[in-house]
Structure 1
């Protein structure tokens, strides 16, 4: 466990170095194993979806501890001989702005060139409001394998997804997000993921840099962000750095789609870290 002030994070090194808990003032932010036996917490996948054969070694096997000191934790996976990669994850709690900095490293262990993108998948409980800046004025959502789109609202150049329990199927949304953040507000707490901006041409085939997924039972959402699709020569690595923030929301700040004050709050938070 890493702890800094009123925020704490738990990483399970025995299950893919997965982040299984993030709490702010004792309030859990991430989706727990009680919501789904396999899809819980936050992890890193390989993009694009469907190109790689499962993620059991990288997502569910034990990672080796490389270092643990002063609010910093670094772990490394075993070699995934099926897909030809290893993954290292470094987690750091930053006291100056109460954030969590995460650095992912993906290394090609094959003796041939491979293409891959980093893909962070974070599960949260349903019942909140997800939102992010859209990439282009005329950008429209795309889906995957025939799944219906989430019922979103487009206001202020922001895509909003207020939780909708009326459907009985899985739902998904792919879009190009700008500004490099994706936020989720629930029960008076705001969770923000900040990540590198990429041009749409740099995304993996069939993918975009922001995705939101709701499972059929409507017990969790996946807040997902993808990095640049890159060519890795044998032995070469890519790095993907993200920053998480958790904040208490002012009690008078309404969680309504189109609320500019909510967007301004997020922009103030992410703008504080240089």
Structure 2
């Protein structure tokens, strides 16, 4: 009886995992989604190369997902129906649409759209519907977990965070000081942040998270010869959710991953209304004969990716 019970439990678990994993693929791109776990993007392959930290590497903190911003509204964990719940899943040849099933306590219904545009581009569309009875104020927030060992590049904005938030422990809010100056390449006005394997903080600091004002609407990560660029609407810092940055970088102090995040505008959405936000991901093999410095990476992005013509 014990052996039979173990066998049946294993088969049930295997079937559950099989149901969770959905696949969208076309050309050089293959996407794996866990529809029953927050419709989380578990892995994205470009030319058979995995780009994300998947559930094979991290049991809890893996893949890419969406949260409402700011975090101070819900602290931790994220809203369960959005981050962990099962989504209704509908797929076509090169795209999928997934809609959450809110709990009674939830006031947001989230629909995630994924579309493979071509061999180098995937579009993510987030539709957050206010299903509550009162106005809901929030911002869009995409969180993507990537392996350490690469380089984060994004254009630096000119706005600075307020001094009050800069005092929060563990955070490096964008302010002009000796720390942020070391993170910015002044010749191209870009954040240029190497992420060494095994590191536990933002380079040149004792902080684990950088919250910054970006510019031009893109942030890139170069790792193992693959360049991933996230392209989004540029948002001024005074239009963001309180205590957040337009581009955020989190370096996990204990585990082997970082989070490259971006935020949309903070807004008030009336009952039965929906806010839509789009982020495009571009993937390229970075030429081995090109330098891996901020100037070269920025030039490559601007040449190959039309971030201003979405």
TM-score, normalisation: structure 2:
0.81
2:38 aligned partner: 16
The answer to whether residue 191 in structure 2 is matched with residue 159 in structure 1 is yes
Structure 2 gaps, min length 5: 1-22, 173-178
1:207 aligned partner: 244
CA RMSD of superposed structures (Å): 2.2
The answer to whether residue 296 in structure 2 is matched with residue 261 in structure 1 is yes
Give the superposition deviation at 1:35: 3.2
Which protein has the bigger strand share?
A: 1
Find 2:253's aligned residue among 212, 216, 221. Answer: 216
Find 1:235's aligned residue among 243, 263, 272. Answer: 272
SS of residue in 2 equivalent to 1:30: coil
For the residues of structure 2 that align with 1:80 and 1:135, how far apart are their CA atoms?
38
Instruction: Tell me, yes or no, if the aligned pair for 1:126 and 1:218 is still in contact at 8 Å.
Output: no
Residues 115 and 268 (structure 1), Cα distance of their counterparts in 2 relative to 1, 3 Å cut: same
Equivalent pairs counted in the alignment come to 269
For the residues of structure 2 that align with 1:143 and 1:182, how far apart are their CA atoms?
22
Residues 238 and 166 (structure 1), Cα distance of their counterparts in 2 relative to 1, 3 Å cut: closer
Structure 1 gaps, min length 5: none
Find 2:133's aligned residue among 102, 111, 123. Answer: 111
SS of residue in 2 equivalent to 1:50: helix
Give the superposition deviation at 1:228: 0.6
TM-score, normalisation: structure 1:
0.91
Instruction: Tell me, yes or no, if the aligned pair for 2:110 and 2:128 is still in contact at 8 Å.
Output: yes
Cα deviation digits, residues 35-71 of structure 1 (max 9, x gap): 3211100000010012026322101111002x31120
SS of residue in 2 equivalent to 1:271: coil
Q: Which structure ranks higher in relative contact order (CA pairs < 8 Å, sequence separation ≥ 6)?
A: 1
Give the superposition deviation at 1:105: 0.4
1:59 aligned partner: 83
Runs of 4+ in structure 1 deviating by more than 3 angstroms, as ranges, are 138-145, 148-152, 164-170
Q: Tell which structure's C-alpha radius of gyration is larger.
A: 2
Cα deviation digits, residues 132-178 of structure 1 (max 9, x gap): 00111x74797584105487521121001101445477600001101
Instruction: Tell me, yes or no, if the aligned pair for 1:143 and 1:173 is still in contact at 8 Å.
Output: no
